[in-house]
C-alpha cells in the first residue's frame, strides 16, 4: 500500500522486511534523544504491528519512509490521531517523523512531511495538522518551520506522560498549520 510518492521518497505501509530498520530507529539513543525511553526489539515489534494495523484500518499512522529508487526503508513519517488528553482534544491529527541517523541532513524529512501535509489537506480533507516536540528539539522544530507550520505558544504544554526522571523532556511546543494557510503558502511560493 503506497500512500504517497515524492521525487525521491515513497510513503507506504510497512513490510515484514522493514522490521530491523523500525527496531533500529526506536532503540538508537541519537534518534531517540528527546524520548525518555528506548524500545527493545519485542516492544518495537509490537509497535510495528499495531502501527501497520492502524494504517490499514484507518489510513492514519506512521508510514514507512523509503527511498523511491530501491524501496529501502530509512525511517517513518506519518499522520496520526493523537492520544494526548488533556493536552490535545480528541480528533487532533499530528504529523510526526523519525529517521535513521545515517540519513539525516539530506532533506528527506522536510520533503516527506511537506508532501504529507498536502496529502492530509487534499486527500483526507483535514482542517488542521499539528506537530509537537520537546521545546529543545531544534532539529524537529526546524522541519516544522520549513514546511510552513507556525508556533502556537498558547497550545504548548508540560507533557504529563514524561516520567519524573526526565523533567527536561516535559516542556513541549506545538506547531500547527491549517488547510487555508497551507494553500496560501503554496500560492505565495508560486509567485
CATH of the domain at 50: 3.40.630.30
Distance CA 96, CA 100 (A): 14
Top-ranked range on mean pLDDT: pick from 81-90, 102-111, 179-188: 102-111
> What proportion of the chain, given as a percentage, has pLDDT over 70?
97
Q: Region 31-57: what's the mean pLDDT?
A: 94
3-state secondary structure of 152: coil
Give the chain's domain count.
1
Q: Please say whether the beta carbons of 112 and 9 come within 8 A.
A: yes
For residue 127, what are the domain limits? 2-190
Percent of residues in the chain assigned helix, strand, coil, to nearest 5: 40, 25, 35
Looking at the predicted structure, is the pLDDT value of residue 189 above 70? Answer: no
Q: Region 163-168: what's the mean pLDDT?
A: 94
Q: Region 28-36: what's the mean pLDDT?
A: 94
Q: Which residues of 38-54 are buried (b: 16+ CB within 10 A; e: fewer)?
A: ebeeeebeeebeebbeb
Provide the pLDDT for residue 191: 44
Provide the pLDDT for residue 186: 72
CA-nearest of 117, 121, 6 to 66 is 6
Amino acid at each position: 500500500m503506497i500512500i504517497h510518492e515524492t521525487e525521491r521518497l515513497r510513503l507506504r505501509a510497512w513490510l515484514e522486511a522493514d522490521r530491523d530498520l523500525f527496531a533500529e530507529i526506536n532503540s538508537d539513543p541519537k534518534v531517540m534523544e528527546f524520548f525518555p525511553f528506548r524500545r527493545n526489539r519485542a516492544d518495537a515489534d509490537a509497535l510495528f504491528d499495531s502501527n501497520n494495523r492502524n494504517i490499514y484500518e484507518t489510513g492514519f499512522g506512521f508510514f514507512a519512509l523509503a527511498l523511491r529508487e530501491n524501496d529501502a526503508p530509512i525511517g517513518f513519517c506519518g499522520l496520526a490521531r493523537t492520544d494526548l488528553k488533556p493536552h490535545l482534544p480528541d480528533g487532533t491529527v499530528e504529523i510526526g517523523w523519525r529517521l535513521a541517523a545515517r540519513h539525516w541532513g539530506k532533506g528527506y524529512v522536510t520533503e516527506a512531511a511537506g508532501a504529507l501535509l498536502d496529502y492530509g489537506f487534499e486527500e483526507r480533507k483535514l482542517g488542521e495538522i499539528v506537530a509537537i516536540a520537546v521545546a529543545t528539539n531544534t532539529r524537529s522544530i526546524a522541519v516544522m518551520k520549513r514546511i510552513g507550520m507556525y508556533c502556537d505558544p498558547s497550545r504548548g504544554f508540560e507533557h504529563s506522560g514524561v516520567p519524573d526522571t526526565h523533567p527536561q523532556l516535559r516542556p513541549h511546543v506545538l506547531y500547527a498549520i491549517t488547510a487555508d494557510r497551507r494553500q496560501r503558502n503554496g500560492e505565495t511560493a508560486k509567485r
